[in-house]
Amino acid sequence: MRQIRIVLTGFGTVGREFIRLIKEKSERIKENYNLELRLVAVGGRDGFIGSEEGLRLDSLSEARPGSQSLADYARNFHMPLTTRYGKADVLVEAAPTDVERGEPGFTHIMTAFRNRMDVIAISKGALVARYDTVFEAAKANKVRVKYSGATAAALPTKDIGEISLAGSEIVGIEGILNGTTNYILTRMQEDGLSFEEALLTAQQKGIAETNPDLDVKGIDSACKILLLSNDLLGTHYSLKDLSIQGIDQVTKEQIAGAKGRGMKYKLLARAHKQEGNVHISIAPMEIGPGHLLAAVDDTNKGIVFQTDTMGEVCVLGGSSSPRGAAAAALKDLINLYRDH
């Protein structure tokens, strides 16, 4: 039985779901993959709690997300909040995303590299802001980085591009990569709502954040297609190299007009090779019933890879939720350390 010592940074809803999944799936993971997962530290805004014997998953699973719960845990179990953690095998980075500076994730990741730890990134910020720096440092320290959860959560975008399409040249990627915007457009399409009305519905259901700008302005979709392009198409782009348009200017009249023509509006993230260059755009577009992504409604997502030898390959679905993102990180963890 191989023991994997895990450090988690970020105790938000995704971080807590990751802990819940470790607790729920631990026996199955032992049986199927010969791995014993031990959570040895969790870090938040005010510091880390840690234990070489492993933290109490039952207590953390039931705690409210947020740094205060880590302080409460430290007090209840008579341990200090520290500025660093002990020795571990892997960092799971789930701190809040800052796509401009990449912090605090970038600092967490670079610290893990110096400690010769592998990294699984759920948060997109560090990779979007400092992609080349992160991977140069990983190579220099001879460690590995996985980030399925940052490229559309539970939808297996990166895995398909890297593994299932090995040997083919990917010449284009087109995806509906944000469940919140897709839900808003679906409600506008099916219920005749304005953007403002559909957004309010999404917020009331907990699908959209109180501040929805990252989603509705297209930034989240841009981050995901950027990471996929840098990884699968060999680009070295940042957000400033992309054409980004969100859905906040889409009107109910535009939606109604498209519906009358048998079309749907979708926020499409697209990366296409053309004459030796890769062009990336994010924009709401009309698509018809023959499009492979036309049936992707509500909070579902989907992606199409265009290849030179395998034709078009499409995958749909994947939970748009904290649990889905946490499950992607757990998948990365298993695939890093399983016996192949």
Question: Looking at residue 15, what is its pLDDT?
Answer: 96
Kindly state the tokens that stand for 234.
């060999």
Contact 282, 245 (CB under 8 A): yes
Integer Cα distance of 93 and 13 in angstroms: 13
Annotated binding-site ranges for L-homoserine:
209
Annotated binding-site ranges for NADPH:
124
Its CATH architecture, for the domain 2-154+323-337, is 3-Layer(aba) Sandwich (3.40)
Question: Looking at residue 340, what is its pLDDT?
Answer: 57
Annotated binding-site ranges:
10-15, 124, 209
Integer Cα distance of 204 and 325 in angstroms: 21
Give the type of residue at 99. V
Q: Read off the pLDDT of residues 172-199 as tens digits, 9 standing for 90 and up.
A: 999 999 999 999 999 999 999 999 999 9
What's the Cα-to-Cα distance from 258 to each of 6, 174, 189, 265, 307, rounded to whole Å?
49, 20, 9, 7, 29
Q: Where are the domains of the chain?
A: 2-154+323-337, 157-318
Per CATH, the homologous superfamily of domain 157-318 is Dihydrodipicolinate Reductase; domain 2 (3.30.360.10)
Question: Looking at residue 321, what is its pLDDT?
Answer: 84
Question: Looking at residue 231, what is its pLDDT?
Answer: 95
Q: Which residues are annotated as catalytic?
A: 224
Q: Record the pTM.
A: 0.93
Integer Cα distance of 252 and 238 in angstroms: 32
Q: Residues of the chain whose pLDDT is less than 70?
A: 340
